[in-house]
Chain A
Amino acid sequence: MSEISLPRIQHIAASGVVAAVGVWVTYVSFTQQPAQAFLFPRLIATVFVILALWTFIKACLGWSKVGSGLSARDCKRLVVGLIIACIYIFWMAKGLGFYTATAIAFFVLLSIYDPAPHTALKSWVKRIAITACFIAVMYGLFAKLLTVYTPREIFF
């Protein structure tokens, strides 16, 4: 038996997760009460689970040809940004306040993904200036123009 390729394993995993969600949705739709409230979800869940299992079986058989999956290089590049984005959204925004958190996350993301050498002082000054300008614009737009009251834990 030939070795299973990485994209094929990824396809199996992705379609497996979708199929598991489909099975759970179907189970809940057909077991929860009141039944009348789940009439439409039952209709959707039936089609959902059929298509999801079909996709999963196709992936297991190696017939999934649409979607290139994720390369190791892509994963390595995006993982840092994704972690920072998640910390920013799920913890910092509420914990530190929107503007402080945004300034920190914005500056960190800029510093990590900026192709300019990290040893150059000029590039750090540029990043600080871009961050300051951006936060000023966001504050002007959301706090002053749209008067959106965002969580403000520290500073502003």
Chain B
Amino acid sequence: MDFLFYFGDVFTPFNFGLLILGTVFGLIFGATPGLSPTMTVALAIPFTFKLEPAAGLILLGALYTSTVAGGAVSAILLRIPGAPANIATTLDGNAMAKKGEGAKALQLSFLASLVGGLFGVFLLITLTKPLSEWALIFGPSELFWLAILGVTIIGSLDSKSLVKGLLSGCIGMWLATIGFDDMLGAQRFVFHPALGGGINIIAALIGLFAIPQVIAMFAGGRIDSAAEVIKVQKHKVTDAVKELWNRKRAAGIGTIVGSIIGLIPGVGGQIAGLVAYDQAKKFSSEKDKFGTGHSEGVIAAEAANNAMVGPSLVPLLTLSIPGSPTAAVLLGGLLIHGIFPGPDLFINHADVAWTFINSMLIGQILMCVFGIFVAGLAAKVAQVPKHVMAAIVLALAVFGSYSVQSSMSDVYVMATLGVMMYFLERFGFSAAPLVLGLILGPIAEENFAIGSMIANASDGLAPYFLTGRLNLILIAMVIASIVYSGWMEVRSRRYTSKEEIMQ
């Protein structure tokens, strides 16, 4: 019940103002196609430099929560999912809007997001403390394997190609070694003066997530991209609450599926929404109505993608292993304030951790309240043409990466990594494992170095890293994630024609 002591910190005028600001802007940015939650949070990090750690995290947490929910606005009214997490919402949400039930679809999506989101954050509250206490038994070898697991699990599950996913993770881990070695002070891979101080995480995150989007928008050319917004009629919120109560099974399925998927590192909101939609359809007595504008489809999908938000932060806050790209960006937000998540977080920075978690709980309620009223404005902003959005994001990326250390080197690194990522993505490489490699690389290296010293003073390297129950479990999980992903890839290839493979 520790979290109850820190509720007051959320309601200070400044923190609560930030929470509202983050929620409103998150809803608007979430509704804008092309601005994913990860990119929004990455671009917002420079705005938290001057804030206290808890205040900065409140802003980032509010943006994360509400961008995921805000994506439903464009999914319903424009038939363009604001984020991959809202793909399933498009299926029935847009059909409802076309039938003149747009307002009802929006209200149901925000109410379902509230139900799922609250449950997700409760799960975060209940699991975080005991798991962080359990994590204290982790030594350097276990933490090394945990970091490797974080990269392999995202590399294998987040990418369409297992080899390219793992290779992206390796590239990220190599990039993390550029600069000075912490132990001996030796320079490593410094092939340009701009890399003398290593690669700054925040600049890299901004580049890797924002610049490929900018170039993709350029690749769209001179096309009138402003989609038509479906007009909505008024609908009573109380009727939407009644509808949600009548469809509680779909909300329950979405919430449970989203929470479970959120706990698995590497599996994002897109999967949560689609799996929940599929399961809700299977258990529904009105299966035939799915896809034609059925409220259960919207409820299940939105409950799931917001239920995923809280649990996706459990591995980050307990083991310092970000389970998703957005969690990795949040880790960047923590690190710039000198806060290192993990077992010690709830001992050394309990106030920051619990204030952040509590703000996410309150943020869910604000997201629902503001969502219902801001949806119209968000839909208008979502119509911002792509070329304007590209120019805005480019400028924000430049200013944001510069403001990290007031260094042009960070801007150059940001741009180079971003351009490189765009081209790599065109050939099946993925940004998520690369980012995870970049963030977890130093954790893996530090624990590898400490572990090596302990091993050299005792049994040797192999027995230290390859024996012990926890080590073996983690190694088994690394292998299992790779084998499972490889098996899935081979299975899907069976259904791919020879012509497609040969291109």
Contacts and interface: CB of A to CB of B under 8 A. Distances in A.
Contact of B423 (A14, A32, A40, A65): A14
Contacts of B457: none
B166 interface: yes
A149 B452 contact: no
Nearest to B447: A40
A73 B335 CA distance: 42
Interface string A37-68: 11111011101100110110010001111111
Contacts of A62: 501-503
B181 interface: yes
A8 interface: yes
B122 interface: no
A55 B500 CA distance: 17
Interface string B148-183: 000000000001110110110011011001000101
A117 to B, nearest CB: 10
Given A44-B174, A51-B167, A146-B49, A67 B223 contact: no
Dominant SS at the B interface? helix
B1 interface: no
Given A78-B219, A115-B224, A142-B403, A18 B46 contact: no
Dominant SS at the A interface? helix
A41 B176 CA distance: 10
**How large, as a class, is the contact surface on chain B?**
35 or more
B402 A86 contact: no
A69 B427 contact: yes
B388 A110 contact: yes
Nearest to A148: B403
Nearest to A54: B163
B503 A77 contact: no
B395 A5 contact: no
B395 A65 contact: no
Interface stretch (B5-13, B67-75, B280-288, B407-415): B407-415
Contacts of A149: 406
A77 B218 contact: yes
Contact of B394 (A41, A52, A105, A148): A105
A37 B403 contact: no
Given A48-B167, A98-B402, A89 B428 contact: no
Contacts of B186: 33-34, 37-38
B399 to A, nearest CB: 5
Contact of A14 (B166, B188, B427): B427
B145 interface: no
A154 interface: no
Contacts of B163: 51, 54-55, 58
A3 B408 CA distance: 46
Interface in B380-429: 385-388, 390-392, 394-395, 398-399, 402-403, 406, 408, 411-412, 415, 419, 423-429
Interface centre among B221, B441, B503 (most CB of A within 10 A): B503
Contacts of A93: 398, 402, 408, 411
A120 to B, nearest CB: 14
B460 interface: no
Contacts of B444: 40
A44 B170 contact: yes
A88 B398 contact: yes
Interface in A122-156: 130, 134, 138, 141-142, 146-151
Contact of B221 (A77, A148, A151): A77
B426 A44 contact: no
Interface centre among A41, A77, A105, A149 (most CB of B within 10 A): A41
Interface in A74-122: 74, 77-78, 80-82, 85-86, 88-90, 93-94, 98, 102, 105-106, 109-110, 112-115
A15 B399 contact: no
Given A34-B184, A113-B221, A55 B164 contact: yes
Interface string B351-387: 0000000000000000000000000000000000111
A70 B203 CA distance: 26
B238 interface: no
B448 interface: yes
A20 B104 CA distance: 55
A67 B424 CA distance: 9
3 A-B pairs with least C-beta separation? A67-B428, A81-B218, A113-B387
Given A82-B419, A110-B391, 17 more contacts: A7-B503, A41-B188, A47-B170, A55-B163, A77-B220, A81-B218, A89-B415, A90-B412, A102-B398, A115-B225, A115-B385, A134-B395, A138-B395, A146-B403, A147-B50, A150-B402, A150-B403
5 contacts: A44-B177, A77-B220, A89-B415, A134-B392, A151-B408
Interface of A: 5, 7-8, 10-11, 14-15, 18, 21, 25, 28, 32-34, 36-41, 43-45, 47-48, 51-52, 54-55, 58, 62-70, 73-74, 77-78, 80-82, 85-86, 88-90, 93-94, 98, 102, 105-106, 109-110, 112-115, 130, 134, 138, 141-142, 146-151
